[in-house]
Amino acid sequence: MSTDVTTPPVPAGPPPATDLRPAQPQESPGRRPSIGERLTQAAYLLILLAATAMFVYPLVWLVSASLKPKSQVFDNRLIPRQVQWSNFVEVWNAGPVLRWLFNSTTVGLMAATAVTLSSALVAFGFAYFRFRGKNVLFGLVLSTMMLPGAVTMVPVYLIWNKLGFVDTQIPLWAPNLFGTAFYIFLLRQFFLGIPRELFEAARVDGCGYLRMFWRIALPLCRPALIIVFVFELKASWSDLMKPLIYLQTPDYFTMPRGLKQIVDGYALSGEYHWEIAMAATLLATLPMVLVFAFAQRYILDGIATTAKQG
């Protein structure tokens, strides 16, 4: 009986997330930078500040435009000549925006919770156990990452249609209960980083597999779980295609689907209220900016980590 066939092909788990901070300053201590070096540094900073303006200013513009009266939306002024808070009341007349925000929040939380728990369970199965067919199955997991969603889109719709779940939010999150290849891959890497002795010791103490997973593996991989949760929350919140496919009743819309409806509505009537559309756009964006504010470190380090493993 060979024990080596099931040895994971990937060398080791990822380094702890804290190792992924940006590069530190490279001057050796004690030596003062010359004037030339300082000028170069200043030039770099200037270019980066210009780039920052390009990335961030559109969002500032958005905040400003959402507070302007209709006639001034396009004046490109940073501070509105007159601030029209009522846009955020009017947006309610354009569609049930609070309802949409609530829908997006519940769908996002369900999708993220489901995919985090299921992917972790499966990832632990692949990381810890030795069982027949494991390598083949894990190869299959990885290969599904190559498959464009378009291939399964129609038949999956037909399944939900048959089950009578079209025009409900269930199709938006329920598939996440079965894990997603990318997250399984990511979490497996983290689980492989846990010293196996830890589990062996728990086994000797009579700890069951499920308990081992729940009490040892999960707590040790908290940062990775947060990464997966936040990634999926963002993906689910931003998604347009599934809500377009599955939701027909405006009350069930998610925020992006609702926003699309508002913009389409103005285009159809020919009477554009861009100030209202921008208020809705801001409402669709702000929750994700808040998520980013709180989970920034996990998101940025998570992206850096995924690339290393790719």
Partner 1 sequence: MSRARRGGGGAAGENRAGWLFISPWILGFVIFTAGPMVASLVLSFTDYSLVGETHGVGTANYARLVEDPRVAKSLTNTFVYALMFVPLGTVVALALAMLLARVGRAAGFFRTAFYLPEMTPAVAAGALFLLLLNGQTGLVNTVLGWFGITGPNWTTDPAWLKPSLAVVSLWSMGGTVVILLAALANVPRQLQEAALLDGAGPWRRFTNVTLPMISGAVFFAVITNTIAALQMFDQAYTMFYGPQQSSSASEESLVYMVYLFQNAFEFFDMGFASAMAWLLFGIIMIITAIQLKLGNRWVYYEGDRA
User: For residues 202-261, which are near partner 1 according to CB under 8 A?
Assistant: 203, 209, 213, 234, 237-238, 240-241, 244-245, 255-257, 259-260
Task: Return the range that interacts with partner 1 (CB under 8 A); candidates 79-87, 89-97, 220-228, 299-307.
Answer: 299-307
Task: Return the range that interacts with partner 1 (CB under 8 A); candidates 83-91, 92-100, 218-226, 285-293.
Answer: 285-293
**Is residue 126 close enough to count as binding partner 1 by CB under 8 A?**
yes
According to CB under 8 A, which one of 83, 153, 163, 201 is a site residue for partner 1? 153
Q: 152-159: list long-range contacts, CB under 8 Å, 24+ apart.
A: 153/245, 157/245, 157/246
**Is residue 26 close enough to count as binding partner 1 by CB under 8 A?**
yes
**Where in 37-56 is the site for partner 1 (CB under 8 A)?**
41, 44-45, 47-48, 51-52, 54-56
**Is residue 177 close enough to count as binding partner 1 by CB under 8 A?**
yes
Number of residues that bind partner 1 (CB under 8 A): 111
Task: Return the range that interacts with partner 1 (CB under 8 A); candidates 80-88, 92-100, 220-228, 279-287.
Answer: 279-287
Task: Return the range that interacts with partner 1 (CB under 8 A); candidates 82-90, 94-102, 195-203, 219-227.
Answer: 195-203
According to CB under 8 A, which one of 31, 150, 162, 219 is a site residue for partner 1? 150
Supply the minimum distance, in Å, between the C-beta of residue 255 and partner 1. Answer: 8
Task: Return the range that interacts with partner 1 (CB under 8 A); candidates 87-95, 128-136, 218-226.
Answer: 128-136
**Is residue 189 close enough to count as binding partner 1 by CB under 8 A?**
no
Supply the minimum distance, in Å, between the C-beta of residue 134 and partner 1. Answer: 7
